[in-house]
Amino acid sequence: MRRPTRRNAVLATLVAAAATATLLAPGTSGAAGPATAAPDPDVVDVCADRRPGPADPGAYGTQLDGTFRHPSLTPVDEESEHPFPGREAEYDTRSYIKNMKVEAAYEGADFTPDYFHTWQNVVDFDGRRYLFQYDRSEGRVYDITDVKKVKVVEKLSREDVGGDETRANGDWAAHDYWGASTVQWSAKLGAYVMVQSFESKRQISELSDHPPLDKYNNPEGVRKLREKPGLKGFKVYRLDGPRKKDWKLLATVSTDATQADPLRSDPATAQQGSGSIDVPHWTGGKYMFLATAPDDTYSGTEYPTNLHSAGYQSWDMSDPAHPRLLDTWHLPGQRTGEDAAYRKNPRCGNRTSWMGARMPLFLPKPVEQGGRYAFAAMGGYGLTVLDVSDPADLRTVAHLDLPESVAGTEGDNIDVSQYEKTGMIYYSGYPLTEDCYEPYKDVYQIDVRDPARPRVVGTLPRPVPPRTAGFTDYCQRRGSFGPKRTGYYTNPGKHDAGLLGYGFYNAGVQFFDVSDPADPEIAAYFVPKAYGRDTAEYAYGNQTHGVYVEWDRNIAWALTNHGIYALSSKVLGKPDLDAPAKPFRTSEF
């Protein structure tokens, strides 16, 4: 789900006529646009324009039996409503619960750094537990030692400079922000080390989802985006306490392959590639894995506002102050000039699909502990199994194409917590539109007991509202509906066998019992109200967008557009509402 941006009001008049015309007539997005710059050679335009038009309103919606039929194909259209017969007239302010208990609820701006998405981490200092919740310049630090008496320890913001990341203020230096992070214990330093991703901003004013201002028709916008300054890479900090003043910068590293020295780049100038995307995979040992496009030739993606198609890199973190690049990997078709491979993908030309990594590799076991395989979720490129036993030589083991599910994110998250026990991984994308105006995003059960032959063997059941709700499918509830993620590998404690918890947008938090892979079922859920007293109206549809589980205390935190909830459940085990028995140090597997 993308947030509305200030550019919408400015661009609305310019885009309206052209966007309407092209939506009604696929194949016309070559309409003349602002072309004061030469065409960019790294905007892939390999196949004829096949951008989908709007779905026929009669082809989807509530069925006679109360189920919902999704449209089979839709264009990128994240900021519009798509009403249908049977949709609720208003957003739902009730909540629903099964086999769960709300231990505490915290509402308002202090507990909502961003309406649309946040990242979380836990650290323990001096017998107290702290939760980080953040999205770039908006960050919060909470003392969550007593689950029922959470306190705000620090609030970071750029509100006073209009969110402009090029400007310094009391909280941030120019071009600095809180990137998606992993926090692990470094035995070498005897301290927590935080690795923060610095990536291209996805909410941009230079390009639009629709022609004539998308990347295919707006070379001037592409040029402006290429010229924006900022670090593309990652930063490494030593943490001597939970607050920003306790961070000590150890390294600033560029993933831009054109830099002469990645540890000595200039963040005040433009850098190539995507930077490190989402939470780096590092467990405090020698090896780290990133999702990144190392330069602008990593371009094989259809998404109209995204210029890069990320692959993966491995890094040596033996000395956290001096990370060293080991290897870079990508699929054929991801780089400029790999046209023949790109044409083989049925999404070629649809001007819609996100193609490339959105998150780093998923490892069931760290390489340092004998782990060999990693799994890659690459949007429209599907699933790839890699052998990472030698991180200096990343090798492809197998590839699996997944069914097209356009629009929306087709492949983003892989839960690998059950792999060592059952050989199953759980692969999913997530919705980007409201009112279910896109194909449903299934959570695929994939059997990889033989890593050379992965195969889909099922899907997790679709959440269904209780009878008391008054509607028969969550699509009718308004807002986005579908899986987001099962948190991150950074959650403290050891993941419970047979249990997966997903943030499911307007279906709240859903816990799936997958102990019997042949018969998965929904074991518990909590569906909060659609919005709170301080939620901006444009964010009402982006409801529960995350879940973060403290497996060591059996507490699940639901992250919503109006605050956070602390949840317990018999499926998690008896909750510990006080200080943890032992501090979190390193992710467990």
For residue 343, give the H/E element and its range.
Answer: helix 339-343
What are the structure tokens assigned to 386, written together? 């890699």
pLDDT tier at 22, thresholds 50, 70, 90: very low
Spatial separation of the C-alpha atoms in residues 470 and 463, rounded to whole Å: 15
Give the residue-averaged pLDDT of 561-581.
97
Q: Are 119 and 133 in contact (CB under 8 A)?
A: yes
Give the residue-averaged pLDDT of 338-366.
98
Q: Which of 130, 144, 134 is nearest to 242 (CA)?
A: 130
Cα-atom radius of gyration of the chain, to the nearest Å?
23
- Mean pLDDT for all residues in the chain: 94
Give the residue-averaged pLDDT of 175-199.
97
pLDDT tier at 80, thresholds 50, 70, 90: confident
DSSP-assigned beta bridge partners for residue 156? 139
Q: What confidence score (pLDDT) does residue 79 get? A: 82
- Under DSSP, the state recorded for 113 is S
Q: Are 131 and 120 in contact (CB under 8 A)?
A: yes
Q: Which of 370, 502, 524 is nearest to 441 (CA)?
A: 502
Q: What confidence score (pLDDT) does residue 573 get? A: 97
Q: Are 480 and 542 in contact (CB under 8 A)?
A: yes
pLDDT at 31 over 50: no
For residue 143, give the H/E element and its range.
Answer: strand 138-143
Give the residue-averaged pLDDT of 70-88.
93
Q: Which residue has the tokens 């069931």?
A: 364
pLDDT tier at 34, thresholds 50, 70, 90: low
Spatial separation of the C-alpha atoms in residues 560 and 220, rounded to whole Å: 37
- Under DSSP, the state recorded for 467 is G
Spatial separation of the C-alpha atoms in residues 461 and 442, rounded to whole Å: 9
| DSSP letters spanning 153-192 | EEEE--GGGTT-TTS--SS--TT--B--EEEEEETTTTEE
Spatial separation of the C-alpha atoms in residues 486 and 379, rounded to whole Å: 17
pLDDT at 472 over 70: yes
pLDDT tier at 10, thresholds 50, 70, 90: very low
pLDDT top residue among 307 and 76: 307
**pLDDT tens per residue, range 516-541:** 999 999 999 999 999 999 999 999 99
**pLDDT tens per residue, range 543-554:** 999 999 999 999
- Counted residue by residue, the chain has a size of 589
Q: Which of 476, 562, 571 is nearest to 522 (CA)?
A: 571
Least confidently predicted of 13-22, 130-139, 229-238, 316-325: 13-22
In percent, the amount of the chain with pLDDT more than 90 equals: 92
- Provide CB contacts within 8 A for 180, sequence distance 6+: 119, 196, 197, 199, 277, 278, 279, 280
pLDDT tier at 35, thresholds 50, 70, 90: low
Sign of dihedral through CA atoms 215, 216, 217, 220? positive
